[in-house]
Amino acid sequence: MELFVLGLSHKTAPIDVRERLAVPERELPRALEALGEVAELAERMFFTTCNRAEVYGVAEGPLAEAVKATRESLERYRHLDRSALAGALYTYDGAHAVRHVFRVASSLDSMVIGEPQILGQVKTAYTVARSQQTTGIILNNLLEQAFHVAKRVRTETGIAAAAVSISSVAVELARKIFGDLEGRTVLILGAGEMAELALRHLVDDGVRSILVANRSHDRAVALAEQFHGRAVTYDTFRQEMLGADIVISSTSAPHLILKKEDLQAIILERRHRPIFLIDIANPRDIDPGCNDVDNVYLYNIDDLQSVVSANLKERQREAERAEAIIEREVGVFQTWLRGLEVVPTIVSLRDRVEEIRTAELQKALARMGDLTPEQRETIASMTTAMINKILHQPMRELRRRAVHQDGHIYSAVLRRLFGLEEKER
């Protein structure tokens, strides 16, 4: 039984190739059923996101044959010829496979290190595989330990602490200015994707009062309804700024829509209450001079990007700490796995010895004539106790050696000495 990973990711394949192996959650049972045709697979799990598609498998028999058959099964299932995945697929086995699964679950192999969604996606794929009964003792233990590792990485490092997207950085800065965002009012100028993402983060942080102004009022209404907000007419946005705490501007206007003198008048009417302006338009919507007005905090997309870059560097430093955690946990799993390898030998030896004990006991009892049930039980118990004492030290040593690299040698020698291979043929 050998563990392996076969897959591709954003590091090895462009999006048009990744899309060809993408499988939505509702279709995962069918994908697992297709992989079930591979006789060389004892256990299997299929995992896909927009950035990766991977099979976690346990080979029954030669590893190379299992990997080849798994790849061919994927190609048949997705109606691909071999050239479609040429150069894109990678394979990991043994400790390398364990390390890869732990890194994926901990978001160290993601396009954005530390992003939280990947762990939930791994858990979903695992839940589906377990419900389809395609995992066993090895994959079950691997995935359960992967979740434990991911939790350790989250709690023992700051890998997810620093925001690394424009929209999340905007919210992080807003928190620094206002503290708790609950109860704050946000005004959206324009209805682009970036503004929508920032708005989504703000809502997650407790913002409930949302105003949307856009030249296309229908689009403003649609975005406002999505977040239970209110659409306002574009021409009145300056008036609406009187009650807003945060303004996110992302229009497609070819010129500035808010000048310094406009904001000076607004701040005066607001009685100098602070206002946070996020200009993520290109070209810019808000006059850079607005930042000179007291109690105005203006950030444009370049300001936000510089914070993103600094935070990414911080995450990279934390990732190094996470890698050390993963290395230790890989060792823990490998120790468990090597211990598992001697279990068949122990079972076979006990079965063989028990077979001999039973046969010899029956011969002896037949020669003893009439014995009471109690006497027969005493003799049977004595033979069982003798066998257990004889086997205790070899079994103990075999388990102890199993966690070392040469553990398989001890298992092979024991099987040869007791003729277990011949017995199993």
Q: Which residue numbers are catalytic?
A: 50
Q: Which residues contact 254 (CB under 8 A, 6 or more apart)?
A: 283
* Residue 259 one-letter amino acid: K
Nearest 5°: phi and psi at 310?
Answer: -65, -40
**Is 78 within 8 Å of 21 (Cβ atoms)?**
yes
Buried b / exposed e over 264-273, threshold 16 CB at 10 Å, is bebbeebeee
The burial of 328, by beta-carbon neighbours within 10 Å (0-12 exposed, 13-18 middle, 19 or more buried), is given as: exposed
Q: Please report which helix (H) or strand (E) contains residue 52, including its range.
A: strand 52-59
Rounded to whole angstroms, the Cα distance separating 30 from 36 reads 10
Residue 22 DSSP code: -
Structure token pair of residue 175:
């928190």
Which stretches of 270-372 are DSSP H helices?
301-341, 343-367
Q: Which residues contact 124 (CB under 8 A, 6 or more apart)?
A: 25
Maximal CA-CA distance, the chain: 116
Cα-atom radius of gyration of the chain, to the nearest Å? 32
**Is 223 within 8 Å of 191 (Cβ atoms)?**
yes
